Amino acid sequence: MSAPLPPDLPVPPGPATLTTDPWTDLRRHTQARIALGRCGVSVPTAELLRFGLAHAQARDAVQLALDADALCEALHAEGWSSLRTASAAPDRATYLLRPDLGRRLAAPQVQALRTRRPAADPELLIVIGDGLSSLAIARQALPLLRAIRASAPEGEAAIGRAEAPIVVATQARVALGDMIGEALGARMVAVLIGERPGLSSPDSLGLYLTREPRTGRTDAERNCISNIRPEGLSHERAAYKFWWHVLQARAQQATGVALKDMSDTQPLPGLGAPRPA
């Protein structure tokens, strides 16, 4: 017979039970990781598995290459003209290690774009860049462009026509739009780009608007509309904000810190009232 445990030793605990979090009901309103509950002193297994899946999806979104050919075909099918270009980063691995290369064009790409510069400088140029989530481009770019076209004020329907094609750029950072806009003579450039994935948002799209794009522009000279996706800022709401900023940028001759986002409280003539989120 084994000897009894000395009285000063702790008794081994029994099986841990799952303890729910009192904030559980709030999870209906957000994808943020709140009210996970606990099992003993640990995260419940189901939540650990969900975290692993979200982390894998975020990694995949960064690594996955954009199917630029398919995107251009989809643009053409909906009546938009497109033009391809690429940053100076030769591949995805270099792009991730050298952000500076993603912000500029290689010399041959600059020359190729200059040969396509239209006779009349485009008033507004749209650039679609893969950024850090090609998944965001695949899921959000076309729906956003449709919303932009559907809500365009009178006289703004020329986006994506032959004289101002939509430029599809691979291995792109936001500032690449400055060089593209400068090469094509655009007065304003809007860059639609995949944002850095979060653990609940691997497909979030950002839109950056810059007036008089040129090499050397800083982030302080552009406006950003972020988190464009059905679970964040809707395509229709983002399109409204986009046109509000375009019209105000023309009126104030500025983008960036000089142009404050008052789109929720100051509707503009010809644009209508703010759309619901």
Q: Which residues are annotated as a binding site for adenosylcob(III)alamin?
A: 174, 195, 224
Task: With H, G, I as helix, E, B as strand and everything else as coil, classify residue 272.
Answer: strand
d(CA 233, CA 240): 11
Contacts of 250 (CB under 8 A, 6+ apart): 188
Binding-site residue numbers are 174, 195, 224
Cβ proximity of 95 and 86 under 8 Å: no
Token pair for residue 203? 């497909």
d(CA 244, CA 113): 29
Instruction: State which H helix or E strand residue 252 sits in.
Output: helix 235-252
**C-alpha triplet 253, 254, 255: angle, nearest 5°:** 145
* CA dist 239 → 54, 82, 219, 260 (Å): 28, 20, 21, 17
d(CA 200, CA 160): 32
Burial class (CB in 10 A: 0-12, 13-18, 19+), 254: middle
d(CA 115, CA 118): 9
Q: Longest Cα pair distance anywhere in the chain, in angstroms? A: 99
